[in-house]
């Protein structure tokens, strides 16, 4: 009964009208990519067999491959979240939405639900295709080393990941006014952990001797902080029965269940904060860059520090001192640029 009170058919249909085309686009991107991969892999397997070799893990490898690129899917999610919020952030729509008998909880939850359904449909179509392909080619597969569960794991890892990222983008849209700028800022934020770990690793290697232990520390930290890359598989070489030669590659998701749990917890957390922010926001501030006054300093110093880190990494020499000088200079520049952006892009006070 509580779900029926939250799910509003009129709101759901209103939002779905706006996102149905992006759903179709996502279906085409994911399906075409995977379809092309499995067809090419099947052709390559036949060629290797005719040459006297075997690739036993060909289906396993192609299922876990992410050739469409994380950045493309993140961009799609950015567009999806921006579309769901762009309409009501216009001056013509905000008054109309305020006069409608909808609770803030209904509005934000139905936006989230439409986005989740859009992503689920996109990956479900490809899941069905992979399942049919698996069944039609099952005679040429060793189901022991190419289990059907690989397809299930691929589906859940990708849907959980992009639903989590989408929910985070909704949170950014809820605390910011300008939809386009919100998408840009959200896209940058999800890449910040990768950016920081790469800079830290670069500085460490540059100023201290490189060791395998050092590499493993940065690798593990980066692997857990960068949720955008959880769906990138790990690979290990497998010995063949001929002279114990490593000639086949087996792909798998490391910490699969734990990563799904992380996605679930983060999604719940982001959705709750998005609801709180959306409930507290004043519709009169919809056209401001940052809706909440106390978050303006977070934006200002976030832009300033990221600018300093980027400049230090690009212009800094092999010494930590030069990196620090460039960091300070561009942090100051970034500070004033962010304040200027707040002034220019906030059309209402």
Q: Report which secondary-structure segment, H or E, holds 190.
A: helix 179-207
Q: How many CB atoms lie within 10 A of CB 145?
A: 14
| Per-residue confidence (pLDDT) for residue 245, from 0 to 100 | 41
Whether 204 and 212 have beta carbons less than 8 Å apart is answered as no
pTM value?
0.83
Of residues 130 and 349, more confidence is placed in 130
- The arithmetic mean of pLDDT across residues 298-317, rounded, is 76
Of residues 106 and 119, more confidence is placed in 119
For 210, the 3-state DSSP assignment is coil
Confidence label for 244 from pLDDT (cuts 50, 70 and 90):
very low
| Per-residue confidence (pLDDT) for residue 304, from 0 to 100 | 83
Whether 227 and 164 have beta carbons less than 8 Å apart is answered as yes
Of residues 81 and 198, more confidence is placed in 81
Task: Name the most confidently modeled range: 26-30, 159-163, 291-295, 328-332.
Answer: 159-163
What would the pLDDT profile of 191-216 be if each residue is shown by its tens digit?
A: 878 777 777 777 666 656 666 666 67
Q: How many CB atoms lie within 10 A of CB 36?
A: 13
Beta bridge partners of 257: none
| Per-residue confidence (pLDDT) for residue 242, from 0 to 100 | 46
| Per-residue confidence (pLDDT) for residue 1, from 0 to 100 | 45
For 238, the 3-state DSSP assignment is strand
The structure tokens 């149905």 sit at: 20
- The arithmetic mean of pLDDT across residues 276-301, rounded, is 75
- The arithmetic mean of pLDDT across residues 292-320, rounded, is 75
For 319, the 3-state DSSP assignment is coil
Whether 251 and 231 have beta carbons less than 8 Å apart is answered as no
Whether 229 and 66 have beta carbons less than 8 Å apart is answered as no
CB crowding 222-242: b at 16 or more within 10 Å, else e: bbeebbbebbebeeeeeeeee
- pLDDT at position 116 over 90: yes
% of residues, the chain, pLDDT over 90: 13
Of residues 295 and 67, more confidence is placed in 295
Confidence label for 263 from pLDDT (cuts 50, 70 and 90):
very high
| Per-residue confidence (pLDDT) for residue 271, from 0 to 100 | 93
Of residues 28 and 48, more confidence is placed in 28
| Per-residue confidence (pLDDT) for residue 56, from 0 to 100 | 61
What are the structure tokens assigned to 222, written together? 């980066």
Confidence label for 118 from pLDDT (cuts 50, 70 and 90):
very high
Under DSSP, the state recorded for 44 is H
């Amino acid at each position: 009964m509580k779900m029926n009170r939250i799910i509003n058919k009129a709101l759901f249909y209103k939002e779905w009208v706006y996102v149905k085309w992006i759903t179709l686009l996502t279906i085409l991107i994911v399906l075409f990519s995977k379809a092309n991969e499995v067809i090419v892999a099947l052709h390559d397997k036949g060629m290797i067999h005719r040459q006297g070799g075997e690739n036993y893990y060909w289906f396993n490898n192609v299922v876990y491959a992410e050739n469409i690129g994380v950045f493309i899917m993140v961009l799609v999610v950015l567009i999806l979240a921006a579309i769901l919020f762009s309409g009501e952030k216009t001056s013509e729509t905000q008054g109309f939405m305020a006069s409608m008998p909808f609770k803030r909880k209904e509005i934000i939850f139905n936006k989230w639900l439409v986005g989740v359904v859009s992503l689920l449909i996109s990956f479900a179509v490809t899941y069905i295709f992979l399942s049919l392909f698996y069944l039609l080619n099952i005679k040429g597969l060793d189901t022991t080393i190419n289990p059907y569960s690989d397809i299930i794991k691929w589906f859940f890892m990708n849907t959980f990941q992009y639903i989590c990222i989408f929910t985070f983008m909704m949170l950014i849209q809820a605390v910011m006014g300008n939809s386009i700028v919100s998408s840009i800022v959200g896209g940058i934020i999800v890449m910040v952990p990768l950016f920081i770990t790469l800079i830290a690793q670069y500085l460490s290697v540059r100023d201290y001797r490189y060791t395998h232990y050092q590499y493993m520390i940065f690798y593990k930290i980066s692997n857990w902080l960068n949720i955008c890359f959880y769906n990138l598989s790990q690979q290990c070489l497998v010995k063949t029965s001929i002279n114990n030669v490593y000639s086949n590659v087996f792909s798998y998701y490391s910490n699969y269940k734990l990563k799904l749990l992380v996605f679930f917890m983060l999604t719940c957390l982001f959705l709750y904060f998005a609801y709180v922010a959306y409930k507290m926001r004043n519709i009169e501030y919809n056209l401001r860059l940052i809706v909440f006054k106390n978050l303006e300093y977070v934006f200002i110093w976030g832009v300033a520090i990221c600018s300093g880190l980027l400049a230090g990494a690009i212009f800094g020499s092999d010494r930590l001192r030069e990196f620090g000088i460039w960091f300070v200079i561009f942090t100051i520049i970034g500070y004033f640029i962010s304040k200027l952006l707040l002034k220019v892009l906030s059309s209402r006070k």
